[in-house]
Structure 1
Amino acid sequence: MTQNTTIEQVELGKGGPLVGVQGLGCMGMSEFYGETDEARARDTLEAALATGVTLFDTADSYGRGANEKFIAPFVAEHRDEITLATKFGIERTDDPQHRGIRNDRAYIRRAVEDSLRRLGTDVIDLYYMHRRDPAVPFAESVGTMAELVQEGKVRHLGLSEVTGPELREAYEVHPIAALQSEWSLFSRDVENTAVGAAAELGVAFVPYSPLGRGFLTGSFADASADLSAADFRRFQPRFTGDNAKANAALLAPVREIAQAHGATPAQIALAWVQQRAQVHGLTVVPIPGTRKTNRLAENTAATRITLTPAELALLEPIAGQVAGDRYPDMTWTSAGREG
């Protein structure tokens, strides 16, 4: 019997589009994870769509617009088949060290026009606020995003790295289709308030880095030895020195469960995210990033793995034992505002 290689579909938030139950994060095709073979990355985009992946995620900050430009030909060829997501809010300039957060009306207005131009489309299916500037009221930021929906430039709104109370506050201004934040076996701070609020409001959750930026694949133990000089993970607290060694040891139960299923550690980590969301009554669409078709096939196959209660219990303690924060500066995340 031929195995079904097409993933299932779910609704992305109340009244949102139907998308594959797993999406594709495109960031690494342009920046952060070392050198990219563009031809292989383009093949991966096509293979993802053929597998039933329809949510493709980018942002104006990835490569300072380069990622949006990179996927534009793919968008043009398959515009009616895909759900296109991009983001605004992280400001980058000619100074490579500069990172700012902008949520003001003028910035959003300029950002959406720039993204539409780079992507070569007249409408963005899902437009996220990439990071929150608490100094800008949601009435201004989400209110401006709502105007873009009314004008037909954006179809649905999303937020990234906000707390549960912030999500509720934003939702009062305009319905939010999706919340994107880091969620994995290594990172569960979103379960404090954000996950519950999303479930209550009918907002879909889109976990980024569901593989812990690759650590949960079990493929390396020390960033300083195993990653290229151009890879940003070399500077992430969980990936170096004693932290990396301690975190690598936490993968023992993941490997044990993977062996029992004839699967890989990455597949177990992705299956965990899917089933953890079910516990909360939440629609989830993880967006693991990859530039390789073999990794894509591995990731999407995880949607067909079901972990037993005993296996879930074995994985439960991992996050509480992880050494190091997920970023050097956690104030850029919702965890930095949980109090």
Structure 2
Amino acid sequence: MANSVVGRIKLGSQGLQVSAQGLGCMGMSAFYGPPKPEPDMIALIHHAINSGVTLLDTSDVYGPHTNEILVGKALKDGFRNKVELATKFGIAFIDGKSEIRGDPAYVRAACEGSLKRLGVDYIDLYYLHRVDTRVPIEVTIGELKKLVEEGKVKYIGLSEASASTIRRAHAVHPITAVQLEWSLWSRDAEADIVPTCRELGIGIVAYSPLGRGFFSYGPKMVETLGEGDFRKVEIFQFVSICPVHMPRFQGENLEHNKRLYDRVNAIATKKGCTPSQLALAWVHHQGNDVCPIPGTTKVENFNQNIQALSIKLTPEEMVELESIASADSVKGDRYSAAITTYRESDTPPLSSWKPTTSI
């Protein structure tokens, strides 16, 4: 039976309804240390669904591929029709190297691959994970539009896309959701991307709303991270070919950012909740068009996360939180230069595209 704490919201203006909070599944299989035991993760996904959290977020790059397979197994035996299934494409591995691709042939092949791994006939929300800056966004969305017409995809989303790219994409086919990093220490999207989404009636899916665990455990978290976790100070080799690290978790940056955690923790103590619940509640209070998707691999953390929906913040508390989480209060970029974001997502004009272009 669904937990009454977890309500439902309209995501975007195209008809999709989802749980007010989703579940990020990435850490179950990739990037945050070794893959977790499959039976435990399937049980966690089932617990989430039975608790009313029905938006499940995965991607073909998580593993790669293994997270989609895991989620697919969890959806067997009657669970498929209880969820809104979101996955992503756009980061390919070719000859041992990663490559961002958005050409029509790849769009279609990626979708077919995800459908097979997930064991489903359609994907509820299909995101372009990263924008291929060699291909006009109109071309990529044009192929996604065909997949919608064929019934293989219900709704289209974008991840890490600039405001101008979102506008161009939306003109080809309505975009239902934009996925972006949004938390008390990642607020840059508020300037341009969030207002653009709201102007166009596009829902917002906030990933890493707990600062990749920072607001759950604070700086001591780094000391407990295992090998293969790309939040560690050491550089993490992304599928052995792409050096990636997260500057916010390193050295002087981490020491500086500890102050932000300490202040959030102090407010949470006064409020009678945990820092992670307070940080998550802050994201929920951004509007009923925002769905955060905190990830976890533990049932107890999941249960704690959904309780954030019950926390009410006063205008004064929101002002206090935002005053300590201003743009200049955090040190370090979200990613190293090896990972592209919305800042590198503008594409050539459609007039430049030649259908025979080989990528």
How do 1:6-21 and structure 2 match up within 5 A?
6-21=5-20
Quote the Cα distance in structure 2 between the aligned partners of 1:330 and 1:161: 14
Quote the Cα distance in structure 2 between the aligned partners of 1:22 and 1:208: 11
In the TM superposition, residue 12 of structure 1 has moved relative to its aligned partner by 1.5
Q: Residues 7 and 222 from structure 1, CA distance in 2 versus in 1: closer, same or farther, beyond 3 angstroms?
A: closer
What is the match of residue 40 of structure 1?
40
In the TM superposition, residue 307 of structure 1 has moved relative to its aligned partner by 1.2
What is the match of residue 309 of structure 1?
315
- 3-state SS in 2 of match to 1:46: helix
Q: What is the identity, as a one-letter code, of the residue corresponding to 1:33?
A: Y
In the TM superposition, residue 232 of structure 1 has moved relative to its aligned partner by 0.8
1:229 correspondence with 2:227: yes
Moved over 6 A (4+): none
Q: Deviations for 1:41-69, whole angstroms, at most 9, x for unmatched residues? A: 22210111111101000001100111110
What is the match of residue 92 of structure 2?
91
Q: Residues 159 and 290 from structure 1, CA distance in 2 versus in 1: closer, same or farther, beyond 3 angstroms?
A: same
1:218 correspondence with 2:217: yes
Quote the Cα distance in structure 2 between the aligned partners of 1:227 and 1:334: 28
Is the 8 Å Cα contact of residues 5 and 309 (structure 2) preserved in structure 1?
no
- 3-state SS in 1 of match to 2:196: helix
1:290 correspondence with 2:292: no
Q: Deviations for 1:4-39, whole angstroms, at most 9, x for unmatched residues? A: 654010112113322110000001110111131322
Q: What is the identity, as a one-letter code, of the residue corresponding to 2:58?
A: T
Superposed CA RMSD: 1.8
**Which structure dedicates a bigger proportion of its chain to helix?**
1
What is the match of residue 125 of structure 1?
124
What is the match of residue 136 of structure 1?
135
Is the 8 Å Cα contact of residues 190 and 335 (structure 1) preserved in structure 2?
no
Is the 8 Å Cα contact of residues 54 and 83 (structure 2) preserved in structure 1?
yes
Is the 8 Å Cα contact of residues 92 and 99 (structure 1) preserved in structure 2?
yes
Q: Deviations for 1:280-317, whole angstroms, at most 9, x for unmatched residues? A: xx601110001111111111110111112222122113
In the TM superposition, residue 154 of structure 1 has moved relative to its aligned partner by 0.5
In the TM superposition, residue 331 of structure 1 has moved relative to its aligned partner by 6.2
TM-score (norm 2): 0.88
Q: What is the identity, as a one-letter code, of the residue corresponding to 2:120?
A: T
Match of 1:334 among 342, 346, 350: 342
- 3-state SS in 2 of match to 1:80: helix
Q: What is the identity, as a one-letter code, of the residue corresponding to 2:40?
A: R
How do 1:77-226 and structure 2 match up within 5 A?
77=77, 78-93=79-94, 95=96, 98-221=97-220, 223=222, 225-226=223-224
Q: Which structure 2 residue ranges, 5 or more long, are not aligned?
A: 233-244, 347-359
Q: What is the identity, as a one-letter code, of the residue corresponding to 2:230?
A: F
What is the match of residue 352 of structure 2?
none
Quote the Cα distance in structure 2 between the aligned partners of 1:115 and 1:159: 17
Q: What is the identity, as a one-letter code, of the residue corresponding to 1:249?
A: R
What is the match of residue 351 of structure 2?
none
What is the match of residue 324 of structure 1?
332
What is the match of residue 259 of structure 1?
269
Q: Deviations for 1:159-183, whole angstroms, at most 9, x for unmatched residues? A: 0011122111110000011000111
Q: Which structure 1 residue ranges, 5 or more long, are not aligned?
A: none
Percent identity (aligned): 45
Match of 2:279 among 269, 280, 287: 269
Quote the Cα distance in structure 2 between the aligned partners of 1:331 and 1:113: 25
Quote the Cα distance in structure 1 between the aligned partners of 2:95 and 2:66: 14
Quote the Cα distance in structure 2 between the aligned partners of 1:55 and 1:181: 16
- 3-state SS in 2 of match to 1:332: coil
Is the 8 Å Cα contact of residues 14 and 174 (structure 2) preserved in structure 1?
no
Count of aligned positions: 329
What is the match of residue 75 of structure 1?
75
- 3-state SS in 2 of match to 1:14: coil
Q: Residues 184 and 333 from structure 1, CA distance in 2 versus in 1: closer, same or farther, beyond 3 angstroms?
A: same
Q: Deviations for 1:98-151, whole angstroms, at most 9, x for unmatched residues? A: 322101101101100100000001111110000012221122100000000000
